[in-house]
A and B are shown apart, each in its own frame.
Chain A
Amino acid sequence: MPVKQVMRVLKRNGDSEPVDVNKIVKAVELWVADLDEVDPLRVATRTISGLYDGATTAELDKLSIQTAAELTGEEPQYSKLAARLLAAFVDKEVRGQGVASFSQSIRYAHQQGLVGDSTAEFVARNARKLDVAIDPSGDLRFEYFGLRTVADRYLLRHPDTRLVVETPQYWLLRVACGLSQTANEAIGFYKLMSSLAYLPSSPTLFNSGTRHTQMSSCFLVDSPKDELDSIYERYHQVAKLSKFSGGIGISWSRVRGRGALIRGTNGRSNGIVPFLKTLDAGVAAVNQGGRRKGAACVYLEPWHPDIEEFLDLRDNTGEDSRRTHNLNLANWIPDEFMRRVEADGDWSLIDPSDAPELPDLFGDEFDLAYRAAEKNAVKTVKARDLYGRMMRTLAQTGNGWMTFKDPSNRLSNQTGRPGNTIHLSNLCTEILEVNTNDETAVCNLGSINLGAHLRDGDVDWEKLRATVRTAVVFLDRVIDINYYPAEQAAASNPRWRPVGLGLMGLQDAFFTLGLPFDSAAAKELSTRVQEDIYLTALEASAGLAEQFGPHPAYQETRASDGALHPDLWGATVSQTERWATLKERVATTGLRNSLLIAIAPTATIASIAGCYECIEPQVSNLFKRETMSGEFLQINTYLVRELKARGLWTAPVREQIRRAEGSVQGITELPADVRELFRTAWELPQKALIDLAAARAAFIDQSQSLNLFMSVPTIGKVSSMYLYAWKAGLKTTYYLRSRPATRIQQATVAVLPALTPAPQAEADAEALACSLENPESCEACQ
């Protein structure tokens, strides 16, 4: 649209000048050498159209970044352009404070009290070597959403001015230096992260090299004892852990239920709900340094008398004093419960004060103790009724995750001796570690970007192994350098030294290799990748044990008895010789880490790396991400490439995809095999997701954050699905994702042909049920 005559901008020095479209074009042209689809003039004119008279040049710069980002839906290259304009903006901000090199940035941040002494000294000692290691082209690899997230939340900021004091590449090198002993080691680790082939988890990316080096993601807190002091101690512990970016899993199974006698006062207990309400408020009050909200998940075993009220905690109706809007909920389910569900048997609710041993038992011992305690049951329900309630909670809130106590314990390296029990999983259901009243389990995580480990239509196995070896060393390193916000955490981690090496970008690999998510080849590849990662990680851990000795609790592990994780599953391995060699080695050296693998959800780091999350299928070919940084359009670049190759990346096709909310099933010009490849999570059979997870599970010694997807859940479907998941042997599952029953009317896709004749009374009842009750799954209407 035409620009009005006298639009002016205010420069940083206070002068004003007319807006010059050519100047903006030139600024954009600096970055488009490899972006042939970008039109700099378009960015410039659109930027000016949104501007007001008298805006500042900083506003102009920000608006041009935003404008470029908003064109992503038409052409994905604009995302790269926006990222580069943002990198230039950040660079200007850093240089404006007199920082011209990595070592200067560290010195400056140290003066501001941001960087820790040891890292500052390390960098000062190796300044020259580190400064030249910075890869100036590193920022070109970021997509906009990733870099925006980095700039808004990961880069260190001046405490008063709030200006960023490091560039994205300085940040990654700072993280590496915080974990390194030599400059070469730091540079190697930096290069790996800068290539986006591997990233440690957010707490490490936030805090490595700083004054508070809390770098662990997950804490697993045992249930408070059945007494007031212990409950309040747990609130305190949770607050401390939360403050430094940790996600909390906490069990509540030991605390007596509503109506149980309190001997000290001869009163009756109000049950666990009022205590959880307090926990809820506590978690909301702690915000993790302003970077994200605190988060916790409460685990409860289904024999607890308050289980039914527990399942209502996330409902959005009912008495608010009995609702917890911030807590996540998970069921910690013994096999005995699932067996009774299947057999349509009764299920006894038992007060923990009558059977305090139950949380510490699993397998046959649990079954016996539970059956013995049933004679004192508080209440008896039909197992299927309770299971149905669990399913309803999952379908209505996505919460109330199904995690399985027996396989979690039976198939764990840590539970080889009596008294070592896994009592719960963590906030994201991928960590399974033993804990006690005095030991809070800790895990630090990192994830490999599989999409960055492909070559010539296959996985680049050597590169993958090299990444695993580096990753294990640095995950292990965190254990010693870590700042532990609570003494219970400091007590556990050095004994067991567990780490969680994960995977992301599985969907990227499948797209690149042309494998539909539910194909046999996809399952085969995902299993082979996981076997190789686990095997290499064990080799690396054995190598560390040779150097530093096995972890102190090694003699309590199943590995010390000669059984590695695939043996517990009775799984068939493909690389038999490597496994045999490894076993011999472990027999003599032991392992440095009791656990090595956990597949975390990677919500944020996958964004930074620009890949799909963990082991998940894509949610949509076109969707938006909502985060604290704003909203971001995400488009499937693999699909765009495919459509462009066929000359189909046209405005009408884009409109069709938008109208169908990111589905391409209705684009009949695409051949069936392409449509099959680009199905979304909503369009895939969920059985396939479960089967893939079960197939790789023998090579995951902790667990995986497995989301399941169902557009329009019914109790029947959901209950069938979770029974299948349990029978498949999964240790844990995560959210049940569903979609809203109604939606905001689309504002930017064309209105469909006007005035469809009003449906006649009672005619077409079937078609109506389809379009109105099932807006998401009815292809005919999309």
Chain B
Amino acid sequence: MTTIPSQSTGPGKQQMLLDPGMDLTLRPMRYPHFFDRFKDAIKNTWTVEEVDLHGDLADLAKLSPAEQHLVSRLVAFFATGDTIVANNLVLNLYQHVNSPEGRLYLSRQLFEEAVHVQFYLNLLDTYVPDLAERTAAFSAVENIPSIARKAEFCFKWIDSIYEMRSLQTREDRRAFLLNVICFAACIEGLFFYGAFAYVYFLRSRGVLQGLASGTNWVFRDESMHMAFAFDVVDTVRAEEPGLFDAEMAQQVRDMLAEAVECEVQFAADLLDQGISGMSLPDMREYLQHVADRRLAVLGIEPMYGSGNPFAFMELQDVQELSNFFERRVSAYQVGVTGSVSFDDDF
């Protein structure tokens, strides 16, 4: 990609986030909140080696066939999910978010997606010792219909702006916003949040702690990705009021409705053999509830009015306290700053 400095803007016209170009100027910083997100993300660096999967193998053997089916479908989804998100980031987002501090965050996000890919790679290598089965799991997007359906949805939205080299018109920018919203609200915000529920369901039953702790860190990252994407959307809306109009709101609703249906058919596959404590109607209600929340962030009226049926999801909203004899504590920060002093308040 060539580096095209931003078109110089006259004193009367303020430069905007989606203006075509490759802005290189960090000072004065136009979007310090993007930079803060970048710094915060660095503090939560984790590595795959920290996740201890050895207890999971014993658990896997103990699971019922119905639960094993659920887990094998779930990890097959994970095998490719983060790679898809990373591709969209590189192919679409990085190109058009024309702010060096925003691109810093996206670079960091790309690194995190790569760590997630590595984590799930390691997970599958550990969970699926049989080479043929492992190959099948990694090609789930092709041969497992419920996963292929979700992948199709993602590719459709990647392709929607893939040909666009720069955002020249209002329509271009609208198409771009829809892509951002799709990845934030539908893919990271719904597909992954669906997966989130299965993992936490298992964890609330005390099994697959390794999967849960790694996924916990993955979701901590994903939450930040989503927040950044919505921050981009808010920023663009503030800079160009009227861009996000009633027609676009309707497009978002349609897109989310389709995503919910994709995820429900995936749930129907996962829960096919009956899982006590996680019924398909409850899962549908949960997905609708999550979709309503995404709409709320965008300032759109809820479509479903559904509540959260899963009490174990409430557990994710409170502080954790691990017994260190049993679990590795995940609550620490990296990148602590300052120098030795003896009179600070504490």
Complex: A619 Cα to B319 Cα, angstroms: 9
A396 and B336 in contact, given A723-B342, A747-B317, A751-B293 (Cβ under 8 angstroms): yes
Residue contact A721 to B274, C-beta cutoff 8 Å: no
A619 and B332 in contact, given A720-B341, A756-B234, A773-B39 (Cβ under 8 angstroms): no
CB neighbours of A71 from chain B (8 A): 311
User: A273: shortest Cβ distance to chain B, in Å?
Assistant: 16
Residue contact B235 to A758, C-beta cutoff 8 Å: yes
Residue contact A54 to B325, C-beta cutoff 8 Å: no
Is B169 part of the contact surface with A, judged by Cβ < 8 Å? no
A-B contacts at CB below 8 angstroms, number: 287
Is A652 part of the contact surface with B, judged by Cβ < 8 Å? no
Is B175 part of the contact surface with A, judged by Cβ < 8 Å? no
A604 and B33 in contact, given A55-B276, A757-B238 (Cβ under 8 angstroms): no
User: B30: shortest Cβ distance to chain A, in Å?
Assistant: 4
**Residue from the list B29, B46, B312, B321 in contact with A625, Cβ < 8 A:** B321
Residue contact A768 to B338, C-beta cutoff 8 Å: no
CB neighbours of A461 from chain B (8 A): none
CB neighbours of A572 from chain B (8 A): none
Hey, what's the 0/1 contact readout for A32-75 against B, CB within 8 Å counting as 1? 00000000000000000111111100011011001100110100
CB neighbours of A738 from chain B (8 A): 331-333
CB neighbours of B55 from chain A (8 A): 628
Is A268 part of the contact surface with B, judged by Cβ < 8 Å? no
Residue contact B320 to A623, C-beta cutoff 8 Å: yes
User: A260: shortest Cβ distance to chain B, in Å?
Assistant: 29
Hey, what's the 0/1 contact readout for B198-213 against A, CB within 8 Å counting as 1? 0010011110010000
Is A487 part of the contact surface with B, judged by Cβ < 8 Å? no
Complex: A117 Cα to B97 Cα, angstroms: 74
Residue contact B318 to A620, C-beta cutoff 8 Å: yes
Interface-facing stretch out of A386-394, A429-437, A499-507, A585-593: A386-394
User: B258: shortest Cβ distance to chain A, in Å?
Assistant: 21
Is A182 part of the contact surface with B, judged by Cβ < 8 Å? no
Residue contact B331 to A630, C-beta cutoff 8 Å: no
CB neighbours of B308 from chain A (8 A): 747-748
CB neighbours of A323 from chain B (8 A): 49
Complex: A704 Cα to B49 Cα, angstroms: 32
Residue contact A772 to B276, C-beta cutoff 8 Å: no
Size of the chain B interface, CB-CB below 8 angstroms: 97
Is A578 part of the contact surface with B, judged by Cβ < 8 Å? no
Is B171 part of the contact surface with A, judged by Cβ < 8 Å? no
Is B130 part of the contact surface with A, judged by Cβ < 8 Å? no
A63 and B44 in contact, given A714-B337, A742-B224, A749-B317 (Cβ under 8 angstroms): no
Residue contact A604 to B278, C-beta cutoff 8 Å: no
Residue contact B325 to A758, C-beta cutoff 8 Å: no
CB neighbours of B44 from chain A (8 A): 740-742
Is B45 part of the contact surface with A, judged by Cβ < 8 Å? yes
Residue contact B325 to A395, C-beta cutoff 8 Å: no
Complex: A341 Cα to B50 Cα, angstroms: 33
CB neighbours of A634 from chain B (8 A): 321
Residues of B near any A CB (own CB < 8 A): 28-33, 36-37, 39-41, 43-47, 49-50, 52, 54-55, 193, 196, 200, 203-206, 209, 216, 219-220, 223-224, 226-227, 231, 234-235, 237-239, 271, 274-279, 281-282, 285, 290, 293, 296-300, 308-309, 311-346
A-B contact pairs, 26 of them (CB 8 A): A53-B274, A67-B311, A70-B314, A152-B206, A293-B325, A387-B340, A603-B325, A620-B319, A626-B321, A627-B322, A627-B323, A630-B205, A631-B200, A631-B204, A634-B321, A661-B318, A685-B345, A716-B338, A721-B346, A739-B319, A740-B44, A740-B220, A742-B41, A755-B299, A759-B32, A773-B39
